Amino acid sequence: MIGIDWGTTAFRAYRLAPGGTILDRRESEGGILSVPAGGFPAALSAAIGPWLAEGERLVLLCGMVGSRQGWVEAPYLPCPAGPAEIAGALTPLPFDGARCLLVPGLTTRDAGGVPDVMRGEETKLIGLLAEFGTAEAVACLPGTHAKWARLSGGRIAHFATQMTGEVRAVLLEHSILGRLAKDAPTDEAAFLRGVARAREPGGLLHHLFGTRGLGLMGELTAEATGSYLSGLLIGHEVTAALAEGVPDGPIHLAGSATLTRAYALAFGAFGLEHRLHDPDLALRGLMLIAETLQ
């Protein structure tokens, strides 16, 4: 089979043997934003044509390729959902030469009834589920829109998105806080100072302005401001995500090296245990969904 994680800015395709061994891979920056209208079949053919020519007949796709800006909009599937529910809700894609199926995104509602959505992360979480079966667990996938999921009974029971990464980016690029900040490598002491600040009273909107106060008074350097702001936002995220209760086991963490390092530091400051997972979870998730199919 062929598994594809087609996101907003990246394309990753894997040719997989039945046991899950990666036979070949293609990775590019050809995310969905780089595909012209109507151009998805041609882009896919160009990327995986040789594998199809060699006889591959099943292509499973996940990620933003199933969004309104993608190839076809796949409806969101409600939680709880596991590999079987997802396999039962795949959207066939019009593509010659292979059976081409799109993984649905997931939706849930929080205690206030407000809807939440994910697209792409559901496949990573299915990959994670393989590691602890039906046990209760909490997973954290950091990113532009960080996802916190509760896994239970071999399914994704519930999740909540925290807009941490995007809020950090827009504040640094467009707010008064950015004017005080200089690009610099991560300063872990400043990051942890931000995490500690998040646990004080005052609220996020006050803490944000405090970043400026510290800068104006010479108590936070321009080079440390970005790290402090990350710590502040991630500290608020962790507090909010675990307000309902701290998990019995470790928090299952997967993502880029930079982000997982930052979250691991924050978890340590909160006295929380975590377990770091391979970032290539989407691949394993696609395999598991495909196995349910066959």
Q: What are the residues binding a second copy (CB under 8 A)?
A: 107, 110-112, 114-117, 145, 160-164, 166-167, 170-171, 173-176, 197, 200-210, 212-214, 216-217, 219, 233, 236-237, 239-241, 243-244
Smallest distance, a second copy to C-beta of residue 84, A: 25
Smallest distance, a second copy to C-beta of residue 219, A: 7
Among residues 145 and 261, whose Cβ is nearest to a second copy?
A: 145
Among residues 27 and 173, whose Cβ is nearest to a second copy?
A: 173
Among residues 166 and 278, whose Cβ is nearest to a second copy?
A: 166
Smallest distance, a second copy to C-beta of residue 280, A: 25
Among residues 224 and 290, whose Cβ is nearest to a second copy?
A: 224
The SS3 call for residue 272 is coil
Quick one: which of 59, 62, 86 has its CA closest to 7?
Answer: 62
All residues at 6 or more sequence positions from 237 whose CB lies less than 8 Å from its CB, including other chains: 146, 162, 164
Smallest distance, a second copy to C-beta of residue 22, A: 33
Among residues 99 and 145, whose Cβ is nearest to a second copy?
A: 145
**Angle between the 204-216 and 188-198 helix axes, to the nearest 10 degrees?**
140
Contact 156, 122 (CB under 8 A): yes
| Residues present in the chain in total | 294
214-221 long-range Cβ contacts below 8 angstroms, 24+ apart: 215/180, 216/180, 220/190
